Amino acid sequence: MTRANLILIALLVVVVPLSLLAGRVWVDPAVTPNAIPILAELRLPRAVLALVVGGGLGAAGAAMQGYLRNPLADPGLFGIAPGAALGAVIALYLGVASAILLPLFALIGAGGAMALLALIAGRTANPAHGIALFTLAGMMIASLAGALTSLAISLAPNAFAMSSIVTWLMGALTDRSWADVMLAAPLTLAGMLLLWLAGRDLDAMTLGEDAARSLGVRPGRLMALLVLGTGLTVGSGVAVAGIIGFVGLIVPHLVRPLTDKRPSSVIVPSALAGALLVLVADVVCRILPLVTELRLGIALSLIGGPFFLMLLLRMRRGLA
Partner 1 sequence: MTLEVRGITIANRLEAITTALQQGEIIAICGPNGAGKSTLLAALAGLLDVDAGEVLLDRDPLSALPPRKRAQAIGYLPQSGEVAWDVSVASLAALGRLPHGDAGKFAIASALAATDMSDFAARPVSTLSGGEKARALLARVLAGTPRWILADEPLAALDLSHQLNLLKVLRAQARQGAGVVLVVHDLAVAMNHADRVLVLDKGRLAADGKPEDTLDAETIARVWSVDARWLGQAGERALVTQS
Binding site for partner 1 (CB under 8 A): 69-70, 125, 200, 203-208, 210-211, 213-218, 256, 260-263
Number of Cβ within a 10 Å radius of residue 80: 32
Distance (Å, whole) CA 135 – CA 235: 18
- Give the nearer residue to partner 1 in terms of CB position, either 4 or 299: 4
Q: Nearest distance from residue 307's CB to partner 1, in Å? A: 21
Q: Are 110 and 177 spatial neighbours (Cβ–Cβ below 8 Å)? A: no
209-230 burial, b for 16+ CB within 10 Å, e for fewer? beebbeeebebeebbbbbbbbb
Q: Nearest distance from residue 205's CB to partner 1, in Å? A: 7
Q: What radius of gyration do the chain's Cα atoms show?
A: 20
Q: Nearest distance from residue 218's CB to partner 1, in Å? A: 6
- Give the nearer residue to partner 1 in terms of CB position, either 207 or 313: 207
Q: Nearest distance from residue 100's CB to partner 1, in Å? A: 42
Q: Nearest distance from residue 201's CB to partner 1, in Å? A: 8
Q: Are 270 and 255 spatial neighbours (Cβ–Cβ below 8 Å)? A: yes
- Give the nearer residue to partner 1 in terms of CB position, either 155 or 211: 211
- Give the nearer residue to partner 1 in terms of CB position, either 111 or 219: 219
What element of type H or E holds 105? helix 101-121
Contact residues for 28 (Cβ-Cβ < 8 A; gap 6+) = 21, 35
Q: Nearest distance from residue 202's CB to partner 1, in Å? A: 10
Picking from 96, 144, 75, 89, the residue whose alpha carbon sits closest to that of residue 116 is 144
171-198 burial, b for 16+ CB within 10 Å, e for fewer? bbbeebeeebbebbbebbeebbebbbeb
Contact residues for 56 (Cβ-Cβ < 8 A; gap 6+) = 184, 188, 191, 192, 232, 233, 234, 236, 237, 271, 274
- Give the nearer residue to partner 1 in terms of CB position, either 104 or 200: 200
Q: Nearest distance from residue 195's CB to partner 1, in Å? A: 17
- Give the nearer residue to partner 1 in terms of CB position, either 171 or 252: 252
Q: Nearest distance from residue 261's CB to partner 1, in Å? A: 5
- Give the nearer residue to partner 1 in terms of CB position, either 194 or 266: 266
- Give the nearer residue to partner 1 in terms of CB position, either 70 or 163: 70
Picking from 133, 111, 107, the residue whose alpha carbon sits closest to that of residue 122 is 133
Picking from 210, 226, 184, 187, the residue whose alpha carbon sits closest to that of residue 79 is 226
